[in-house]
Amino acid sequence: MSKSSLAAAVLGVVAAGLGVWLVRCNTRLSEQASEMDSLKALVETQRVELESQRAVVESQRLDLARLGTNANEASQRVGALVAEKSSILLKLQAFEAKQAARILKHEEFTVGPGELHPYTLAVDAVPGVLFGSWRASGTSSGGADDTLVGFRITDPTDALLSSTGNVAQWKFAVRVGDPGTYTFVFDNKGLMRQTARKVFLDVTYLPD
């Protein structure tokens, strides 16, 4: 074999080897490029997942903040309702006490000729108003008229609160400031009083 043929053969072998090496290099580069693309896709997927998780966390944080606000508002509302309930209970207790202290009387009695007839009423809850009316009947008992000689109301100290005379009916209203016994005196005394008087009394006491 001549030198030129040997050189050509050697060059061919070298060229073939370089070709194989280049093919392997290209294959390796392609594989690495593919791996890089896969890594990029994985990184992008993880980034999207992290963004999604961040959004979820932010949403939960906002929900917690709203819950905290709502809880505070609910607590304030509950406190207001409790205070309102206490106020209503106090008013109800005061109303029930007032109703319990309320006095309502309907009485019928006879005042004989020449007599004074006291009717007493005990009052504990003060102050308040004592009011009512009465009417007398005498003609049904043979009297000339229905009148009483007099009528008066006195307080526990016997101080005069209201009075009238020679009437057959009367309406009264007096302020009550002291606890004790209040007296209604029906007067049928007099030289000319020979017949009884029947009295119909309605009296109410309302505390303030």
Q: Is the pLDDT of residue 35 over 80?
A: no
How far CA 65 is from CA of 27, 75, 78, in Å, comes to 56, 15, 20
Q: Is the pLDDT of residue 19 over 70?
A: yes
Q: What does the pLDDT average to over 96-110? A: 86
Instruction: Region of 61 please: left (phi>0), alpha (psi -120 to 50) or beta.
Output: alpha
- Cα separation, 140 vs 138, whole angstroms: 5
Looking at residue 1, its pLDDT comes to 62
In percent, the amount of the chain with pLDDT more than 70 equals 96
Give residues with Cβ within 8 angstroms of 52, minimum separation 6.
none
- Picking from 84-88, 92-96, 114-118, 175-179, which range would have the lowest pLDDT averaged per residue? 92-96
Q: What does the pLDDT average to over 98-108? A: 87
Q: What is the largest CA-CA distance in the chain?
A: 186
CATH 2.60.120.680 at 103-207, yes or no:
yes
Looking at residue 77, its pLDDT comes to 85
Rounded to two decimals, the pTM is 0.58
Mean pLDDT computed over every residue of the chain: 88
pLDDT per residue over 135-153, tens digit each?
Answer: 999 998 888 899 999 999 9
Q: What is the DSSP string of 62-120?
A: HHHHHHHHHHHHHHHHHHHHHHHHHHHHHHHHHHHHHHHH-EEEEEEEEE-TT-EEEEE
Q: What does the pLDDT average to over 59-82? A: 83
Looking at residue 119, its pLDDT comes to 98
Query: Quick one: pLDDT band at residue 50, thresholds 50, 70, 90?
Result: confident
